[in-house]
Amino acid sequence: MANVLMAAWGDAFGLPPFGAVRDEDFGPAFDAALVEARANVAAIAASDEVPTFANVIEALELSEDALSRVAGVFYNLVGADSTPAREALQSDLAPKLSAFASEVTNNRVLFGKVEALWQGREALGLTHEQGRVLDLYRRMFVRSGALLEGEAAARLTAVKSRLAVLGTTFSQNLLADERAWFMALNEGDLEGLPEFVVASARAAGEEKQAGGPVVTLSRSLIVPFLQFSPKRGLRQKAYEAWGLRGANGGATDNRGVAAEILKLREERAKLLGYASFADYKLEPEMAKTPAAVRGLLMRVWEPAKRVALADAAVLEGMLRADGIAGPLEAWDWRYYSEKRRRAEHDLDEAVLKPYLGLEAMLGAMFDCATRLFGLEFKVLDVPLYHPDCRAWEVSRGGGHVAVFIGDYFARGSKRSGAWCSDMRGQRKLGGDQRPVVVNVCNFAKGEPSLLSYDDARTLFHEFGHALHQMLSDVTYGFISGTNVARDFVELPSQLYEHWMEVPEVLEQHARHYETRAPMPADMLKRLLAAGTYDQGFATVEFISSALVDLAFHEGDAPADPMQKQAEVLEGLGMPRAIRMRHATPHFAHIFSGDGYSSGYYSYMWSEVMDADAFAAFEEAGDAFDPEVAARLEKFILSAGGSEEAEVLYTRFRGRMPGVEPLLKGRGLVENV
């Protein structure tokens, strides 16, 4: 019987045959796809034809189609709906896929053809996009070690293989810790919790078969528990478990894994001739250098810390007023901050959430995309990989644009966080290939599902990434969608968050899930007025994580990352009651792969641009101004990596921004 993953997919939109795929199909499919990819690459290298852009670069673009197709399904599933079989295969695949990637970039004959094309590019008559793709292919080969020989080349291959294994191990350890821990609650422990938190705790208890309500390490449950539970001992127990993910000792402890990753990254960079891994990693990004990253982060750190310390003094006063001697601890911050928010802004999240139902916010999210870009969304009734998933056909002017899949609820088989990925990217080479894009979140499941304000922002954020994928309009997959500089990739996502806060959007879509009544005008006004509330806390917990990431990679790898983390935080004067957003043992952004390593700062780098980019709409006097929206699509969302990021942004905005819009947007400008 033919493997369903390797056979042609008969769905009208080319969707994977989820209903027919079994875990045991993936291993043979990867084996067959690797054989096919190796044969294709070998044929390109062995050809005695004169090298051309078509028979080298375009052939490479198409050489791994089957492998990309199988991997697109598998890696979406292993992150969003893992099983022991999938995790075992993931561990087995890490060195295999790393070895194949090294085979390609270490192929001297193949690189010779790429280099010959690059050296003679002026005579090739390439389009601008083709020239960009050729530049990026050569850069990929060189940064992967194509210029190394002998022992150095062999060692780099071994280092990359080991790093692939360690990244997978880090992810699986973290998922195991998040899956294993829960705190049982008795009926008395539910005192003071809003009904939506109680409902989430009961649902989590059913999933864990705990015989009653529980708190898990899912952010969508533990954060509201920390916000609302008056029981300080339970808050402390839950918070400390949350902070100890990946640091509980035993087989799932990530501290040694992180240390080995950092040491190998340093070796990788030095083999390639760089002073540090941060220098290597930042070279192709907008920031270019560690000094530029540190400059931005420290520009924001001091005003943010001043605000956070002032807030901490207020919250500690509230703690003492409750008869607790103090000091204010990390497990107290969210509880007293929520009380303060209710007092100062008359905003109670338990009252707010009924107006932010998932269905209402999906409607808002789609409506904004329709008004900005003319997109239409139609529900698809197709088999998907989990019953919680939903799919929509995205179209415009009667033409198919993409398939969008949403997977929104937390479960034990899903890693924490929220992300956007694709099962198939956009390209025109070899036919008009339309994307299949997936948004994954970890919202608490309920009947109905009600979102916090932060949850709703996350929903819009990930859909901003999805728009970057779906509206991509380039010929080559190598530069399509989110294949851009890491510190540019967050611009579309963070920019799209702004539309959730447009008053007319909330007026239309923020409706009570039972009565359908719109959010009261005074509540909406208070909500928007509180937009910068607690930004000292949010900024400090983010920047501290980004600076620790940079410190890990900027010099010699630390033998003890936890000690290095402590030294960095002490040097910053980290406020006592705030912890890093991602402590080292669960800092998946930088250790589950090297995507955000030396690059966690990129959210803030992009925020400098997103604040300025939305100002373009404000200057036009309309959050949906069609001319600005058209420029945004043309120069940012559809362009992929067809130009350097600063070129694309300058074409959209006419200039690069300063840091002032970011400081203003976070409510920190008056403290500069």
CA distance 631 to 637: 9
* Fold adopted by 252-347+535-600: Neurolysin; domain 3 (1.10.1370)
- pLDDT bucket at 350, cuts 50 / 70 / 90: confident
Say if CB 6 and CB 66 are below 8 A apart: yes
Q: Is the dihedral of CA 409, 413, 418, 419 positive or negative?
A: negative
252-347+535-600 and 23-105+107-143 share a CATH fold: no
Structure confidence at residue 581 (pLDDT): 95
Kindly tell me if the per-residue pLDDT of 669 is higher than 80. Answer: no
Structure confidence at residue 1 (pLDDT): 55
Mean pLDDT (the chain) is 95
Label residues 137-176 b or e (16+ Cβ within 10 Å = b): bbebbbbbbbebeeeebeebbbbbbbbbbbbbbbbbbbbb
Active site residue 462: yes
Over residues 173-183, the pLDDT tens digits come to 999 999 999 99
* pLDDT, average across residues 607-630: 96
Pick the CATH number of 354-529+603-671 from 3.30.300.30, 1.10.10.10, 1.10.1370.40, 3.90.228.20: 1.10.1370.40
Domain boundaries, the chain: 23-105+107-143, 181-245, 252-347+535-600, 354-529+603-671
- CA distances to 362, 365, 446, 637 from 449, in Å: 12, 16, 4, 30
- pLDDT bucket at 670, cuts 50 / 70 / 90: low
CA distance 90 to 213: 33
Kindly tell me if the per-residue pLDDT of 665 is higher than 90. Answer: no
CA distance 494 to 464: 7
Binning the chain into helix, strand and coil, the percentages to the nearest 5 are: 60, 5, 30
Over residues 391-439, the pLDDT tens digits come to 999 999 999 999 999 999 999 899 989 999 999 999 999 999 999 999 9
Kindly tell me if the per-residue pLDDT of 672 is higher than 50. Answer: no
Over residues 448-491, the pLDDT tens digits come to 899 999 999 999 999 999 999 999 999 999 999 999 999 999 99
Phi, psi of 668 (to 5 degrees): -110, -5
Give strand ranges (E) for 325-454.
Answer: 376-380, 390-396, 399-409, 419-424, 436-443
Structure confidence at residue 73 (pLDDT): 96
Give the tokens for residue 219: 């952010």
- CA distances to 68, 167, 507, 584, 633 from 486, in Å: 21, 18, 35, 20, 19
CA distance 41 to 106: 12
261 forms beta bridges with none
Kindly tell me if the per-residue pLDDT of 529 is higher than 50. Answer: yes
Say if CB 478 and CB 451 are below 8 A apart: no
Say if CB 430 and CB 62 are below 8 A apart: yes
Over residues 547-558, the pLDDT tens digits come to 999 999 999 999
Phi, psi of 583 (to 5 degrees): -70, 160
Q: What percent of the chain has pLDDT over 90?
A: 91
Kindly tell me if the per-residue pLDDT of 213 is higher than 60. Answer: yes
Say if CB 494 and CB 446 are below 8 A apart: no
Pick the CATH number of 23-105+107-143 from 1.10.10, 2.60.40, 3.40.1130, 1.20.1050: 1.20.1050
Which one of 64, 266, 462, 633 is the catalytic residue?
A: 462
Structure confidence at residue 671 (pLDDT): 43
Kindly tell me if the per-residue pLDDT of 27 is higher than 50. Answer: yes
Element (DSSP H or E) covering residue 109: helix 108-119
